Amino acid sequence: MSRPGLAALPEGGRADFAAIRADRRRRLLDVMAAADLDVLILGRPGDIAFAAGVRPLFTSGSRPYSVGCVVVRDGGRVHVLADHDDGVPAEIAHDQIIGRSWNPRIASARTARIPGLAGARRIGSAGTSTSAATLLATLAPAAEVVDARPLVQAARATKSVAEVAVIETACSLAEAGLAAMAQELRPGVTTRRLTARYSERLGQLGVTVVPDGPVAWRAAGGLCGGLDGRPLAEGELVSLSPSVTYGGYDATLARTLVVGGSPTAATGKLRDRAVHSLSEVVTACVPGATGAELMRRWADAGEPAFAAPLAHGVGLGIEEPIIGIGLGADEVLTEGMVLAVQGIVRGVHDNAVGGWHHREMIQVTAAGPRLLTRPHPRAADAAATTTSSPGAT
Amino acid sequence: MGVMFLGRAVTGGTVNGDLIPEVPDLARMRQQRSSRLRGSMRERGVDALLLLGTGAVQYAAGAAAPIVDASRATLLRPVALVLADDPEPHLFTPHREAAKERVAADHVHPPLWVELDGQLADIATRLGRLVPGDATLAADEMPYPLRRALGDRVVAEGAPVLSAARLIKTPDELACLRAAQSINEAAMRTVQEALQPGLRQSELTGILLSEAFQLGAAGVAVDAIWQVMPERRSDGPWAFHGDVAYPTPSSDQILREGDVIWVDSGILYEGYASDFGRTWLVGRDPDENQHEHFARWVAVMQAVLDEIRPGATGGDLCRAARKADPLSAAEGGKPWLEQFYLVHGLGLDSAEMPLLGTDLGEEFDDSFVLEPGMTFELEPVIWTEGIGGYRSEDLVVVTDDAWAPLSDYTYAPYEGPGRAETAR
């Protein structure tokens, strides 16, 4: 078999994924030890990827919580549900692969063979469902089962230097896709054509997975419009929101571009508001800052709240903390977190102007927020560097 | 008249008395789904059904959210609430614009964060307003925060209520499935024309999606698979079940002349998934052995199609497939993959009930009775150690008399009775 390449980075490439996986396992075993857990059950794809490093087949949409990975603290062994060993890292031996089954009885018998599960005193489960609860009650009847979501979230939240490097590569790929769309952007083009161009470009770069919804939509259509086949008009705003999954890690950014050239006075005003308000929030992303402070920064800039997170964690998919949309006021930023921070401002002449959407990825460091995404020459952030003189607003 | 599919005459025209419309009527589809769902609730004594799964929410409220990965679809999920005595579903969503024209404006509410711990009291208050304490409540999933928010309130299993409704497709659902399949097939035509040695798997995905988005796809259901198949199982990845390892996710692997690839993909249209599966060769025509595999695959398909009619059982289909390919049995196997199934359903999820020929066992297959409106994705596999295998998939619906195809794509470069000669 040919070796998997670029998009399959966990098995090769320029990052030391074996070291990344070992570090992630250590973080997970540390939180298990601190919480006195003998066994940790994981069912959400991001959690499973964190613990096991398996390369999953992407399917869109949610799926019900079920036992997909079992970590046994004694010996630090990770058992994972899979049909075969393609995409399963070498450190997971074949006897740690639990074959999938459609039959709950067979699934239960296979899971029962995991050493250390039956005798566990305390089991953490990062999610719950009737089937998972029944399985645990059958296989480890004496165990106390606790909600392990906060522990797993804590282990995932602080990214290693190596993880951040992979995320930055993902950002570069998303930016390359953005550039391809921007080149295509002229009056008469459709959001469908822009999306097509994005897929094509990513395919050339070795990437197939776009995790974060539509990559292009008409800014007048609201927060996150669907694709359509109507030509974009001169002067219209289009939200380009490229996302990529690379080596399991996500990049997600957003830029707003004006179709066919330079912004009018009204769109320029909108752009400056967006850039200013977002930079207020980004600047506040330092260790110790709370979710409430980020929200206050946005409000103090004079912008109303919008129906999407102001900031959320990014790693193997999106992660907590989720700040904004009525959530996360008490969350505290810590060094090593990677966040997507976004702002959406709506124009006064809504239908004529639309909204300006802008999203950056940042790493929270002791020295302040570090941008992982770069400016695009035709978007708001580039404009910001040239219009930062007083009176530009 | 005279429509043929895989050498078999297509007879069935109606599904529960209706023809499948050329173009789906989305409003009618929502009404009929609502009526099926509430019927299923009444049969099971459920007054209120809370739905969390992506497919479940779409069934109740339409495709009213962006298509995203599992982490986003879970943490930031929209939630639907169906009341047995209200034909309009309630939708709690962060995507208010997307719900326009799909859900009645006074039934669209701010999101309920059932996967996050921040607003437990809010969940309890807002659900309590719509679902009285003495009403029977069921839910398809029960994450920790939702469970805590509901306190000691008893919640019944909602999954059976939903799956009973979803099993039988309405004519408009079938039209959506056919539209999704048709977009996928048209995009695959472009990919197949472009296929040549030196291309990367990811480039094929790029071509596929580029075409599919321009033809009307809303998003990706499954990352497209272009798996290079070995000639021996042991030359492929190790597999728990001992059968050939499949599917493996795509990468930037470069395809070479003579590679046999098993192609599998799914896109979404109005929430409905397509499922396209074919065996292709890179830069070469099939040899005699490969043609023979295809002929065996066709024989299995024909045998299964001949059994499909209301009243037949899943067991009938599996037995017919085994009988049609004694060579698989002689090798100790069956003409489909050990870890999967001969047949799966297709709808808002890319593999949903019924799953036939799985390790649920023959008893399950025999107890499953075919009814008009069920969709069957048939995916037999022919395998010979040392030669490799052939796998393709086609989609049919059980009609009032027998079955009708919803897929329509050539088997080239393999030669045989060919695809449906339907005039749509």
Q: Do B360 and A211 touch (CB under 8 A)?
A: no
Residue of A nearest to B232 (CA): A1
Element holding A355 (H helix, E strand): strand A355-365
Which of residues 234 through 273 in chain B touch A, CB cutoff 8 A? 235-241, 245-254, 268
Cα angle value A173/A179/A183 (rounded, 5°): 150
Q: Do A5 and B251 touch (CB under 8 A)?
A: yes
Q: Do B119 and A204 touch (CB under 8 A)?
A: no
DSSP letters, A95-110, are: GGEE---S-HHHHHHH
Tokens (6 digits) for B367: 């107890």
What lies within 8 Å, CB to CB, of B319 at 6+ separation is none
- When scoring B97, B112, B113, B213 by the number of chain A Cβ atoms within 10 A, the one with the most, hence best to mutate, is B213
pLDDT at B130 over 80: yes
- Whether the CB-CB separation of A335 and A158 falls below 8 Å is answered with yes
pLDDT value of position B192: 98
Neighbours of A335 (CB within 10 A): 14
CA distance A94 to A113: 13
DSSP letters, B215-246, are: HT--EEEEEEEEEEPPSSGGGS--BTTSS---
Element holding A70 (H helix, E strand): strand A69-72
Distances (CA, A) of B292 to B26, B244, B257, B295, B326: 44, 19, 21, 5, 14
Burial class (CB in 10 A: 0-12, 13-18, 19+), B198: exposed
Q: How far, in whole angstroms, is CA A87 from its chain's centroid?
A: 20
For A25, half-sphere exposure in the C-beta direction (CA atoms, 13 angstrom radius) is 23
- Whether the CB-CB separation of B318 and B363 falls below 8 Å is answered with no
Which of residues 285 through 344 in chain A touch B, CB cutoff 8 A? 307-309, 316-320, 322, 325-329
Cα angle value B104/B98/B352 (rounded, 5°): 90
Q: Do A203 and B209 touch (CB under 8 A)?
A: yes
Chain B contacts of A56, Cβ < 8 Å? 249
Chain B contacts of A226, Cβ < 8 Å? 66, 98, 218
pLDDT at B147 over 70: yes
What lies within 8 Å, CB to CB, of A55 at 6+ separation is A4, A8, A10, A11, A86, A87, A248, B249
Q: Do A208 and B253 touch (CB under 8 A)?
A: no
Tokens (6 digits) for A200: 């094509």
Tokens (6 digits) for A124: 């953490």
Give chain A's radius of gyration (CA, Å). 23
Position A85, amino acid: D
Classify residue A302 as left (phi > 0), alpha (psi -120 to 50) or beta: left
- Whether the CB-CB separation of B70 and B59 falls below 8 Å is answered with no
pLDDT at B275 over 50: yes
Burial class (CB in 10 A: 0-12, 13-18, 19+), A229: exposed
CA distance A369 to A371: 6
Burial B56-76 (b: 16+ CB within 10 A, else e): bbbbbbbbbbbbbbbbbbbbb
Closest Cα in chain A, distance from residue B155 (Å): 11
pLDDT value of position A385: 39
Q: Do A103 and B361 touch (CB under 8 A)?
A: yes
Tokens (6 digits) for B193: 């024309």
CA torsion angle for B319, B322, B323, B325 (degrees, to 10)?
A: 160
Please, what are the averages of pLDDT over each run of 10 residues along chain A (393 residues)?
A: 43 78 98 98 97 94 96 97 95 97 96 96 96 95 97 97 94 94 95 97 94 90 75 92 95 93 82 92 98 98 94 97 95 98 79 78 97 77 40 29
pLDDT at B128 over 50: yes
Which of residues 362 through 391 in chain A touch B, CB cutoff 8 A? none
Cβ contacts below 8 Å, chain A against chain B, sum to 267
Q: Do A245 and B69 touch (CB under 8 A)?
A: yes
pLDDT at B269 over 90: yes
DSSP letters, B109-161, are: E----TTSGGGHHHHHHHHHHHS-TTS-EEES---HHHHHHTTT--EEE-HHH
- When scoring B122, B240, B268, B349 by the number of chain A Cβ atoms within 10 A, the one with the most, hence best to mutate, is B240
What ipTM was assigned to the predicted interfaces of this complex? 0.95
pLDDT value of position A227: 87
Which of residues 202 through 231 in chain B touch A, CB cutoff 8 A? 202-211, 213-214, 216, 218-225, 228, 230
pLDDT at B43 over 70: yes
Burial class (CB in 10 A: 0-12, 13-18, 19+), A139: buried
- When scoring A2, A58, A60, A169 by the number of chain B Cβ atoms within 10 A, the one with the most, hence best to mutate, is A60
Tokens (6 digits) for B257: 């002349």
**A17-34 and A45-52 are packed helices; what angle lies between their axes, rounded to 10 degrees?**
110
Q: Does B26 touch chain A (CB under 8 A)?
A: no
Chain B contacts of A127, Cβ < 8 Å? 143-144
Burial class (CB in 10 A: 0-12, 13-18, 19+), A147: middle
Q: How far, in whole angstroms, is CA A164 from its chain's centroid?
A: 12
CA distance B260 to A345: 51
Cα angle value A269/A274/A278 (rounded, 5°): 150
Q: Do B220 and A4 touch (CB under 8 A)?
A: no
pLDDT at B379 over 80: yes
Which residue do the tokens 């995932």 mark?
A156
Tokens (6 digits) for A247: 């080596």
Tokens (6 digits) for A132: 């998972």
Q: Do B141 and A221 touch (CB under 8 A)?
A: no
CA distance A151 to B392: 44
CA distance A168 to A14: 13
Which of B68, B205, B218 is the closest to A203 by Cβ?
B205
Q: Do B214 and A213 touch (CB under 8 A)?
A: no
Q: Does A357 touch chain B (CB under 8 A)?
A: no
Which of A149, A197, A221 is the closest to B97 by Cβ?
A221
Q: Do A58 and B220 touch (CB under 8 A)?
A: yes
What is the reported pTM?
0.95
Which of residues 284 through 303 in chain B touch A, CB cutoff 8 A? none
Looking at residue B89, the DSSP 8-state letter turns out to be: P
Q: Does A65 touch chain B (CB under 8 A)?
A: yes
CA distance B219 to B54: 14
Which of A8, A56, A64 is the closest to B53 by Cβ?
A64
CA distance A53 to A19: 11
CA distance B178 to B276: 12
- When scoring A65, A83, A130 by the number of chain B Cβ atoms within 10 A, the one with the most, hence best to mutate, is A83
Which of residues 153 through 192 in chain B touch A, CB cutoff 8 A? 157
What lies within 8 Å, CB to CB, of B330 at 6+ separation is none
- Mean per-residue pLDDT for B184-200? 98
Q: Does A4 touch chain B (CB under 8 A)?
A: yes
Which residue do the tokens 């029944």 mark?
A134
Closest Cα in chain A, distance from residue B121 (Å): 13
Residue of A nearest to B353 (CA): A102
Which of B204, B213, B240 is the closest to A84 by Cβ?
B240
pLDDT value of position A265: 83
DSSP letters, B6-74, are: TTEE----EETTEEPPSS--HHHHHHHHHHHHHHHHHHTT-SEEEE-SHHHHHHHH-S-S--B-HHHHH
Q: Do A192 and B143 touch (CB under 8 A)?
A: no
Which of A57, A211, A327 is the closest to B247 by Cβ?
A57
Greatest Cα pair distance, chain A, in angstroms, is: 71
